[in-house]
Amino acid sequence: MFACRLPWWRSSVTCKSWQSGHFLPWGSCQMLTIKGINTTVGQEQQAGMKEKQVLEDSEMHLARRDTEGLFQEQPEPGNQYLEDTLLRSYLKTHLPPKVLEEVHQDLERFGNRLLTKIQALSWECELNPPVFRQFDAWGRCVDHIHTCSAWRRMKEISAEEGLIAEAYEKRYSNWSRLYQAVKLYLFSSSSGGFSCPLAMTDGAAKVIESLGIPEPLKNAFDRLTSRDPEKFWTSGQWMTERRGGSDVANGTETVARKQPDGTYRLYGFKWFTSAADSDMALTLARIADAEGQCTQGSRGLSLFFLRVRDEEGKLNNIQVQRLKDKLGTRQMATAELWLQGARAELISAEGRGVAAISNMLNITRIHNVIGAVASMRRMISLSRDYARKRVAFGKLLKDHPLHVQTIARMEVQVRGAFLLLMDIVRLLGLAETNLASEQEQLLLRLLIPVAKLYTGKQASAVAVEAMESFGGQGYMEDTGLPVILRDALVLSIWEGTTNILSLDVLRSLAKSQGQVMAVFLSTVQKKLELASGTEELSPAVQRAQEAIGSLRQFMAATGSERALTMEMAARDFSYSLARIYTGRATRNH
C-alpha cells in the first residue's frame, strides 16, 4: 500500500517501502514487491532463476518508464499569501501603513503554516470522516460522534490563529473584520471542512454581541471568541426541521416549555444540524402557553441558546438519530437530532427569533462567499502551476494560447468575486465600528445576498472548468480535485438557495423604497467615471454603462406588473447586479 496518501498538492510524498505495483496520482513513484517464492528443495534452483528474471524485467520496465517521460508533473503551489498577488496588492492599496506592516508579517507566517502543517491535516479530515456510534459494547445508548484527531486539531488551530477572535478584538478598528476575512480566505481551502463550524461560530458570536452580551451569555461569548484552544467553543445553528430549510416561519415545529427556574425545555426534531459535534447551538422554537398552545408563523418563533453537552460530557437530553450521507463536506458531522427536553435559555424577545438571527445570517452568508472565492482561487492556482509543467503536443500547456485563454477567463471571474468580497467585509468593518454612512449600510444590505448567490454559482462552474484543465487527472479521486468540486456544490444551497436569495434582494429594494438601488447605481457610476480616464479601459466602461442603461430600462418598464415581473426576473436581475458591480470593481483596482 502507499506509504502516504496525501494528494499531490498537499505534501511531498516519499516511498517508505516497495510494497505495491501501483502508481501515485502522477506516476511519480511505483512500488513493487518481489518476495521469495515458496519452494520445495527440488524447486529451489528453478525458483531462483524465475526470481532473477522477474527482477530483470521489472528493472527494464522501470528504466523504460523513466526514459520515455510518461510521468506527469504534479502542481505544487507554495505560500498561498505570497503567491496571491491580487490579495497583496489590495492590502497594500487599502490598509493603513502601520496595519499593513503587522498584517503582512502575520499572513506570511500563516501562509507557511498552512503549507507545512495544516494542509496535511486537511487531507486527514477527508480520509477520516466522522463516525456515529449509537451503542457501546454493553448495549447502552451513548450517541457518540467520533471525529478524527486532525479535525480536533483544526479547532485548536482556529483558536490559536484567532480566526474568530480577530473580528471581535478590533485590534485594527474597522479593518479588523477585513483582516479576519483574509485569514479565513487563506485557511478555507486547507481547513478540511472546518470553515463551516467557524462560520456558525462567528454568526453565534455576532448574535450575542448584538444582544449586548448579557451576563448569562458572557461565558459563551468569551469562549466563542477565545484564542485559547482549551477554552474555545464552536457553535451550531439548528434551524432546519422536517418541512425544509429556508421557510423557518412555517417549518419550525420545535416547542419550548418554560420551567420554574426560568429556563426552557425544548422538544422537537432538527433534521439538518451541521457541525453536530459543536459545544453549543442557537436554535428556533415556539413557546407553548399555559394551555400548551403555540403561535404559528414567524411571530411565534423565539431564539434559544443551549449547551450540547453537560460538564460530564453527556448529551443535553439530545438523541442522535443518524449522520447525514452527503455528497460533499464529508469531513464535518451533520446529523438528525431529537430534542427530548433539552435545557435551553431564551435569548431573544419572545416572538422575535427571526429578527434576532438576521445578524447571524449576514455573517454566515459572508463566510459562504469567502469559501467560494477561496475555492476558486485554489483551483486556478493548481491549474496555473500545472500548466507550467505539463507538456502536451510538444510544448507546455502555458504555451498553448487557448489553454491560457481558458485560465485567464477563470482568473477574471475570481478577481471580480474577490474584490466584491473585500468591499463587503470593508463595509461590514465600518458598520461594526459605527463608521458606516447610511448609504454604506444600505449598500452592504444589498451586496451580501447578491454576492452569496453569485459566487456560490461561480465556484461550481470554475471548479468544473479547472478540473477539465487537468484532463483525465482532474477526474481522479486521489488527486483531491473531486473533493474541491464536491465541497463547492454546497455553496449555492447552504444559507439560502439562489432563488431564496434573489427574492431577498428584491425585499431589500422594496424595504428601502428604492434607496438601495439609488445607492448601488451611484456607487457604480462614480467608479466608472474614474475608470473612464484610462484609455484602454474605455471599451469596458462603455459596456458597463450599457448594462446599467438596460437595468434602468427594465426597472422602468415593469410598470403596474412590477411585483410579478420582478419575481420572475429575480435571478437574472441579481446576476446583473453582481456582474455590473464586479465589473466596476475589477476595472478600478
Instruction: State the pLDDT at residue 32.
Output: 36
Residue 325 domain flag: no
Residue 169 in any domain: the answer is no
Is 493 inside a domain boundary?
no
DSSP letter, residue 327: S
Which range has the worst mean pLDDT, 100-109, 228-237, 375-384, 524-533? 524-533
> What is the residue-wise DSSP string for 22-36?
-B-TTS--B----PP
Residue 566 confidence (pLDDT): 83
Q: What is the mean pLDDT of the chain?
A: 88
Torsion over CA: 540, 546, 547, 548 (sign): positive
Amino acid type, 405: Q
Contacts of 25 (CB under 8 A, 6+ apart): 7, 8, 74, 473, 476, 478, 479
Closest CA to 362 of 288, 447, 279: 447
Angstrom distances, CA of residue 440 to CA of 90, 173, 177, 367, 427: 20, 17, 16, 20, 7
Looking at the DSSP assignment, which residues form a beta bridge with residue 141? 135
Is it the case that residue 206 has pLDDT exceeding 50? yes
Contacts of 50 (CB under 8 A, 6+ apart): 37
DSSP reduced 3-state for 45: helix
At 124 the pLDDT is 97
pLDDT above 50: residue 30: no
Q: Report the percent of the chain where pLDDT is more than 90.
A: 75
Question: Is the pLDDT score of 185 beyond 50?
Answer: yes
Of residues 563, 573, 441, the one with CA closest to residue 498: 573
Q: What is the pLDDT of residue 61?
A: 57
- The pLDDT of residue 40: 47
Residue 26 confidence (pLDDT): 58
Average pLDDT over residues 423-431: 98
pLDDT of residue 60: 55
pLDDT of 318 > 60? The answer is yes
3-state secondary structure of 280: strand
468 Cβ contact list (under 8 Å, min separation 6): 474
Phi, psi dihedral angles at 330 (to 5 degrees): -70, -15
Residue 38 in this model has a pLDDT that exceeds 60: no
Give the total number of structural domains in the chain: 1
Task: Please write the tens of the pLDDT for every residue from 239-265.
Answer: 988 887 788 888 899 999 999 999 999
CA distances in angstroms from 261 to 265, 341, 578, listed in the order given: 11, 15, 50
pLDDT of residue 347 exceeding 70: yes
Residue 577 grid cell: 447586479
Tell whether 549 is covered by a domain.
yes
In a domain, residue 171? The reply is no
Segment 55-73 shows an average pLDDT of 58
77: pLDDT confidence band, cut at 50, 70 and 90? confident
Residue type, 440: E
- Domain assignment of residue 569, yes or no: yes
**Domain-embedded: residue 268:** no
Strand extents, DSSP E, 377-419: 391-392, 395-396
Residue 82 belongs to a domain: no
Mean of pLDDT values over 417-437 = 98
Exposure b/e, 490-509, CB count within 10 A at least 16 = b: bbbebbbebebbbbbbbebb
* pLDDT above 90 for 83: yes
351 pLDDT exceeds 90?
yes
At 535 the pLDDT is 82
Mean pLDDT calculated for residue range 433-438: 97
Worst-scoring range by mean pLDDT, 194-198, 242-246, 557-561? 557-561
Q: How confident is the model at residue 15 (pLDDT cuts 50, 70, 90)?
A: very low
Note the pLDDT of residue 29. Answer: 47
Structural domain boundaries enclosing 520: 514-588
Query: Which residue is listed with cell 415556539?
Result: 286
- Is 51's pLDDT higher than 80? no
Of the candidates 311, 313, 286, 310, the residue with the CA atom closest to the CA atom of residue 297: 286
pLDDT at 380 over 90: yes
Q: Check pLDDT > 50 for residue 17.
A: no
> Can you give the pTM of this predicted structure?
0.89
Q: How high is the pLDDT of residue 501? A: 96
pLDDT greater than 70 at residue 53: no
